Chain A
Amino acid sequence: MAWNMFRTDDRLELTASLTTFRGGNGDEIHGYAVRPAADGPLPGVVVIHHMPGFDEFNQEFAERLGRHGYNVLAPDLYCRYGHGTPDDVAAKVRSEGGVPDESVIADAKAARDWLVALPTSNGKVGIIGTCSGGRHSVLVASSVDGFDAVADLWGGGVVMAPDQLTPARPVAPIDLTERLHAPLLGIFGNDDRSPTAEQVDLHEAELRRLGKDYTFHRYDGAGHGFFYYHTPMYRQEQAMDAWEKVFDFFATNLAAAS
């Protein structure tokens, strides 16, 4: 369903709360869970937060998907670093070289399993993230099975030079493309510096070479983070159009098998 196209007498009821679930390595971690008050069956979406952390934008992003009929779990990928305001926790993660890819993959897979186990699940789960979360979404869906759709919103670092690889980020997600089996939606601003238009070209060429199911939308007049209405990066026209692309993509790929 498109944005703002609900009926005024629709039952718009959600529950949204911090929940605890068993993440990677069996650790108890937090996630922000948003669930429509519907009998189901409903598709699920794992929301991967961006580098600034488990923040209010991330929660509102999850709520928007919930409002459009998805069970959503947004894992706190920084949960193991302690708690405070999002920027304080993100600063600690930054000082330690960033959250390791291995940890993100395990937590995202656990979030997927949590969603599938819900009594209202239709068995289908997608994954979406912005910024580093876009990269992580591609990485996760290329590393583990169980995701039915993946949406990468301007994920920088899908294409990485060898000198950008670190112990926390040892593999460039583009090098795992052969293992990506879920349809991929890419949303990019043509003025972005990471990913650059050239890097998006490289990613697209690799997807095409391997015969993957992908759709990229590339927006003029937009750079990085153009959904971020709390920053000067926000681009209203491009963001609203891209949100419709996200809704259409998940509606197509996460519907229950008939």
Chain B
Amino acid sequence: MCTMIAVSAELKGVGKGTGGWFPLTRATVGYDHATHGPDEHALLLDFVNYEIGPEARVALELDLASGRTLLRQLEEAIAAAEASGV
């Protein structure tokens, strides 16, 4: 099924794609048809810069459990970073 689930937001950082490093402007997190992974659906994480073009993209396909793990990792790392005062 096409869920059409997609949450998009602006983002600042750099990503490494097939052509090397490039500045990121946006991330989209979706849950829809996997295009490469083995499951029918996957969390689809796209870090992109559409000012460069559709191929300026770092893509991940994760199952939901992995997405939750990643979420916890991000929260722990961000909390530790903020607590460190660095």
Would you give 16 A-B contacts (Cβ < 8 Å), ordered by A? A52-B33, A82-B54, A84-B55, A85-B55, A94-B6, A95-B8, A95-B28, A95-B50, A131-B2, A131-B33, A157-B2, A194-B3, A195-B1, A224-B1, A224-B40, A231-B40
1/0 contact string of B1-33 vs chain A (CB within 8 Å): 111101010000000000000000010101011
**A56 CB to closest chain B CB, in angstroms?**
11
- Across the interface, which residues of B come within 8 angstroms of A90, CB to CB? 35
**CB atoms of A94 and B32 under 8 A apart:** yes
In the bound complex, how far is the Cα of B8 from the Cα of A84, in angstroms?
Answer: 20
Indicate whether B38 reaches chain A with its CB closer than 8 angstroms: yes
**B49 CB to closest chain A CB, in angstroms?**
11
**CB atoms of B1 and A91 under 8 A apart:** no
**A34 CB to closest chain B CB, in angstroms?**
23
**B22 CB to closest chain A CB, in angstroms?**
13
**CB atoms of B46 and A91 under 8 A apart:** yes
In the bound complex, how far is the Cα of B46 from the Cα of A224, in angstroms?
Answer: 24
Those of A9-58 within 8 Å (CB) of chain B: 50-52
- Across the interface, which residues of B come within 8 angstroms of A192, CB to CB? 1
Give the contacting residue for B48; candidates A92, A98, A233; CB below 8 A.
A92
Nearest chain-A residue to B61 (Cβ)? A87
Nearest chain-A residue to B3 (Cβ)? A194
In the bound complex, how far is the Cα of B19 from the Cα of A84, in angstroms?
Answer: 13
Indicate whether A156 reaches chain B with its CB closer than 8 angstroms: yes
Nearest chain-B residue to A81 (Cβ)? B54
Residue total for B at the interface (Cβ-Cβ under 8 A): 24
Residue total for A at the interface (Cβ-Cβ under 8 A): 37
**B35 CB to closest chain A CB, in angstroms?**
4
B interface list, Cβ under 8 A from A = 1-4, 6, 8, 26, 28, 30, 32-33, 35-36, 38, 40, 44, 46, 48, 50, 53-55, 57, 59
**CB atoms of A51 and B33 under 8 A apart:** yes
**CB atoms of A156 and B8 under 8 A apart:** no
Give the contacting residue for A87; candidates B2, B28, B35; CB below 8 A.
B35
Give the contacting residue for A193; candidates B1, B26, B33, B55; CB below 8 A.
B1
**A187 CB to closest chain B CB, in angstroms?**
15
Q: Which of A95, A157, A166 has the most CB atoms of chain B within a 10 A radius of its CB?
A: A95
**CB atoms of A84 and B53 under 8 A apart:** yes
**CB atoms of A92 and B38 under 8 A apart:** no
Q: Which of B2, B28, B50 has the most CB atoms of chain A within a 10 A radius of its CB?
A: B2
- Across the interface, which residues of A come within 8 angstroms of B48, CB to CB? 91-92, 95
In the bound complex, how far is the Cα of B6 from the Cα of A87, in angstroms?
Answer: 15
Give the contacting residue for B28; candidates A91, A169, A223, A225; CB below 8 A.
A91
